Structure 1
């Protein structure tokens, strides 16, 4: 449903109320409910001119939250290593020109960092979209690793962060030393950035 949302070409319906609800949901999505991050990110793109379809999708999110009020973030302490899962949703319809990135970091059996956002560059394939999502996640990975190293309760020798990716081509490109990609300089820069962190031992890649 959320993938098929398109721009409203009619008069906006209760634009102020829509924006206020989206603001509340964005706070909730960034605090304790990563499961609604993608939906809220998608719906927030229509705050300037929401239509009936956007309101129906918004009401669906509200009903979902009402039925899952018992859900939250829980930590068991195991595994005590930082892991990451990233993915991208390439262009889903004719109105979209940029893909969507998403990542989740887990530590101690629970989620500690997550994000869903529209990519800032144009990508021409699913591989480029996945690489861009991975690059966005590595920025957060490096920051989280530095944070863990500064905490007195954590061992100073923090292992490489396992970055789980579902695109084998991306993993091959990062692990390779060749620069034979026929992509834009923005995509190539992201490849070099991910490769640098991998070679320095900050991250390691695995296919899921």
Structure 2
């Protein structure tokens, strides 16, 4: 599942890169962060092994991009994976940590009340 998600996200990011190039913004290698060392190993290994033969060929897009030098894969420990806050139910401490990491903060009820009055 992680390998399939990595391949799909790679395709989306490469599409975004193409759009940004139209605006004159160029990027060499696209950094991708994954919390699965197995998915990274499959992506970076140019040899097809028997343990990966069940994966449909369309999901090997990430492997091709790595071989072409388009992407750079990095391992990130699960507790630091920012995307998890959008996809998983996390303990409160973990959620608050990740919220701070992306620069967000939780608004107090008083702040929400002031904001609702300002927008009315």
TM over 0.5: yes
Kindly report the root-mean-square deviation, in angstroms, between the aligned alpha carbons of the 2 structures: 1.6
- Aligned partner of 1:143 in structure 2 is 15
Q: Which of the numbers 40, 45, 51 marks the counterpart of 1:176?
A: 45
Q: How many residues align?
A: 75
1:165 pairs with 2:21? no
- Aligned partner of 1:206 in structure 2 is 74
Cα displacement string for residues 34-80 of structure 1 (whole angstroms, at most 9, x for unaligned residues): xxxxxxxxxxxxxxxxxxxxxxxxxxxxxxxxxxxxxxxxxxxxxxx
SS of residue in 1 equivalent to 2:47: coil
Could you list the runs of 5+ residues in structure 2 that have no partner in the other structure?
77-120
SS of residue in 1 equivalent to 2:48: coil
Distance (whole Å) between structure 2 residues aligned to residue 137 and residue 161 of structure 1: 11
Cα displacement string for residues 71-90 of structure 1 (whole angstroms, at most 9, x for unaligned residues): xxxxxxxxxxxxxxxxxxxx
Which gives a bigger RCO, structure 1 or 2 (Cα 8 Å, sep 6+)? 2
Could you list the runs of 5+ residues in structure 1 that have no partner in the other structure?
1-128
Distance (whole Å) between structure 1 residues aligned to residue 22 and residue 50 of structure 2: 37
Superposed structure 1 runs of 4+ greater than 6 Å apart: none
Kindly indicate which of the two structures has a greater share of residues assigned to helix. 2
Kindly indicate which of the two structures has a greater share of residues assigned to strand. 1
Q: TM-score, normalised by structure 1?
A: 0.34
Cα displacement string for residues 140-190 of structure 1 (whole angstroms, at most 9, x for unaligned residues): 0110111111103x2x4x12110000000111111112101434251x431
